[in-house]
Amino acid sequence: MHLRKFIQNSILVIHLISGGVISNILAEENVYELSPFEVTGFTIANEAPLVTYASPVSVLNFNPQADVQSRNFSEAQADISIRGGTFEGTGFKVGSLSIFDPQTGHYVSELPIDTRMLSAPEILTGAANSQSGFNSTAGTINYSWKPVVADEGIIDIAYGEYSLNKQGLYLARMFDIDERSVGFDIGLARSESDGVIEFGDHEFSRISGRLEINDERWNWLIFGGYQDKFFGWPNMYTPFGVQETEDIQTLLIITEFSAELDERTTLTLSSYFRENTDDYEFDRDRPGIFNPFQHQTEVAAFHGDINFEISDDLDLSVFGDLFFDSIESSNLTQTFQSRTYYNAGTQASWQKDDWQIIGGLNVYDTNRDAATLNPSLRFARYLNDSREQIYAEYSRASQVVGYTAIGSAPSGLFAGNSNLGLERSHNFEIGYTKSTENFALSAAAFYRIDNDLTDWTFSFASTNARRANPVDLDTYGLELFMRYAYDGGNVAMGYSYLEKEADYRVDDVDASFYALNFPNHRITLALTHNINAKLSVRIDNEYRQQEDSILRNTDHEAFFTYASIVYSPFGDERWEVQASVSNLWDDDFEEIPAVPGTASQWALKSTVRW
């Protein structure tokens, strides 16, 4: 049934591209021609969510390279998996800084940043993750800062099903001081809803601002953001039929300075402070039962890198990172309460004619764990005037375990393991890429070996708890992705195949909540199509066949569609009215085993720009 729906939507996409009946009936003018477009920037059709304001995680929904597994909805709480890894094995990077949560990967995407300040994310895997990521074994989601380039104002207001209402304001200004360009922007957003199921309510708010100063040879950025989130969901983390809630506050302050020291040398210095406070309630009607589950983490980080153009053929970079974290917790007390991280390395890139070799080596260490070396090596051959590339690479990455896994008591709802150690990953990969002005294609086959990966598991011998266990995991994968831009819109399709072999080294593991919660087959399809100068459609689709799990209460197949119709009365972006529906087919699939899936929802939004 799900596959049939996907095929039907695929036919609709082909029909729209070819200028079908809908275009003939609704066309008031000639098809609106897009301005020059980089096909590499298009991965999804609906960049903003329906159920709340847009956050950095929003653009990962329906992304063919990232698997977002949500509780309630992804902006509430989401586990992001890359290439079959776990939520702990995924890193986040903003500008030159790797931003992480030392308590648990469940909160790594808590980034109080207005998405208009960020570029589309780049998914770093393999060698790129090994050298540019931090504390991530599977991949890193990399956002670049989008510069303030003009005066701008945006207001959006939306109302929808289940008492949904949300509002947003974005303001940007540009001016000159002493021959320097100065940009400033601020974003305000809030949303609330009763939720698509009972006790699935939420109330969110966020403020973020940025100052950017540009000189002829240097750039300085200062950012500050804060968000406050409350949301509920039945069986959010436990399968006992209680109404669980999360109350999270996140503060993030960033500064980044970059300069051209000379024509061949660039320098970047940056730092950030992040504070994340979480109050998890197992039962909202009985606050504090079993444990208060209250945590506050702080992270201070410093990064520096210098890049040298040694010659026309050879580039060299040297980098270093220093991180300090600490945690105050009501129950994560089985081990230390602070940790210092060191990460430093170098990378050389040599390119001659059609050949490229990139080699890197970094050392990763903490004051609580043994140091480890992470090498990477990539060989690439360019074809057809550098528009095509074939490559082969090997890389190693490592990370340490978060406080929830090592600091929880060995019994209870979340049974921790203070003996968990360093996690190591080896990635072998071959691939092919091709890119033209309006077309992009990539294909990759990989084999990843994870040693001592931390997973949360279930046992029939102890049905009242999930337990942190190490696992050795072999993952085989295939990824295919295509993007195409035409005069009336864009289309993107992705396919991934995953297979795993797991060794938990113990006999009492009957199911996995995370490491073995992955799609064997996943297909994504995104379309934007301009019917005429005023009317357009945006459709995102995802079909998956998930690995079987005894914990899942629904079928192992799922099909999701997020569709929008956008009307622009003036034929431009000054005013847009949008009607959207998420989970069009009302699929109840449990993205995380034993956690209820979401339901269909519609909303109307009005956006004014000046």
Span 205-216, pLDDT tens digits: 999 999 999 999
CA angle 46, 54, 52 (to 5 degrees): 100
Q: Do residues 43 and 49 lie in contact, with contact meaning Cβ atoms separated by under 8 Å?
A: no
Of 282, 237, 279, 109, nearest in space to 592 by CA:
237
Q: Give the pLDDT of residue 56.
A: 96
Of 200, 174, 196, nearest in space to 185 by CA:
174
Q: Do residues 103 and 404 lie in contact, with contact meaning Cβ atoms separated by under 8 Å?
A: yes
How far is the C-alpha of 124 from the C-alpha of 393, rounded, in Å?
13
* Span 519-552, pLDDT tens digits: 999 999 999 999 999 999 999 999 999 999 999 9
Q: Where are the alpha helices (DSSP H) in 81-239?
A: 126-132
Phi, psi of 95 (to 5 degrees): 65, -125
Q: Give the pLDDT of residue 5.
A: 52
How many domains, the chain? Answer: 1
Q: Do residues 497 and 481 lie in contact, with contact meaning Cβ atoms separated by under 8 Å?
A: no
How far is the C-alpha of 187 from the C-alpha of 200, rounded, in Å?
26
Phi, psi of 547 (to 5 degrees): -55, 135
Write down how long the chain is.
610
Q: Do residues 453 and 81 lie in contact, with contact meaning Cβ atoms separated by under 8 Å?
A: no
Distance of CA 286 to the CA centre of its chain: 33
3-class DSSP state for residue 530? strand
Nearby residues of 221 by Cβ (< 8 Å), 6 or more positions away: 95, 145, 210, 211, 212, 213, 254, 255, 256, 257
CATH of residue 253's domain is: 2.40.170.20
Give every residue of the chain whose pLDDT is below 50, as ranges: 6-7, 10-40
Q: Give the pLDDT of residue 15.
A: 45
Of 423, 501, 513, 426, nearest in space to 468 by CA:
513
Q: Do residues 501 and 473 lie in contact, with contact meaning Cβ atoms separated by under 8 Å?
A: yes
Residue 65 burial (C-beta neighbours within 10 Å; 0-12, 13-18, 19+): buried
Q: Give the pLDDT of residue 573.
A: 87
Paired strand residues for 414: 466
What is the span of the domain harbouring residue 43?
Answer: 2-609
CA distances from 575 to 27, 158, 263, 269, 436 (A): 20, 14, 44, 40, 33
Residue 95: count of CB within 10 angstroms of its CB: 20
Q: Give the pLDDT of residue 267.
A: 98
Distance of CA 374 to the CA centre of its chain: 24
> Beta strands of 163-217 (E only): which ranges?
164-177, 180-193, 202-214
User: Containing H/E element for 407?
Assistant: helix 403-407
